[in-house]
Amino acid sequence: MYRAGHAGVSMVAYAPLGVGVALEWNVSVATAGLVATVALSTLPDIDEVLPGVAHRGPTHSLPFAALVGVVLAVTTAAFAGPVGLTPSLGLLGFAFAVGTLSIVSHLLADVITPMGVRPFWPVSDRHYTLDLTPAANPTANYLFLTGGVLTVLGATAVVVLTG
């Protein structure tokens, strides 16, 4: 998938978490989580500019997803206080979930392409693909983006109507 497709899939993946956080905790934090999830959704493709790193290699794996989750939690711990948030275990867990989910959503979008992913690297080099559409398919990418936007609008309606 391309940037639009990854953004859409990340919105769909984040929506249940965002609704829960908005209803039980804080709408601003839920919104920040959505922004972070979408912003990080294309991070695995940094491998296209990293010398010696194969595309859809280590950055397209579950260990990388966990690493991004840890980095986002540590970053949140460092910056929460100055922006008026208490770096609680709940907030740090949420940051970890957002970081991890953003990368997992990328893997979910890429598994439908013929190139697929190897999500269990370095433990297993097994390749997974559903081979449904090429990554460059503009129709698929914009359908995912549209689905993501509609999902976020629906999630927002749930928060407004029940919150």
pLDDT in tens, 49-61: 999 999 999 999 9
Q: Which two tokens stand for residue 82?
A: 């100055």
pLDDT in tens, 111-142: 999 999 999 999 999 999 999 999 999 999 99
Q: Reduced to 3 states, what is the DSSP secondary structure of residue 88?
A: coil
pLDDT in tens, 57-107: 999 999 999 999 999 999 999 999 888 888 899 999 999 999 999 999 999
| The pLDDT value given to residue 64 | 98
Say how many C-beta atoms besides its own lie within 10 A of residue 104's C-beta.
22
Q: What is the mean pLDDT of residues 139-149?
A: 98
pTM of the model: 0.95
- Domain residue spans in the chain? 3-162
| The pLDDT value given to residue 83 | 82
- Cα(65)–Cα(50) distance, integer angstroms: 17
Q: Over 80: is that where the pLDDT of 36 sits?
A: yes
User: Phi and psi (nearest 5°) for 157?
Assistant: -65, -40
- Cα(99)–Cα(34) distance, integer angstroms: 11
* C-alpha distances out from residue 100 to 71, 86, 96, 146, Å: 10, 21, 6, 23
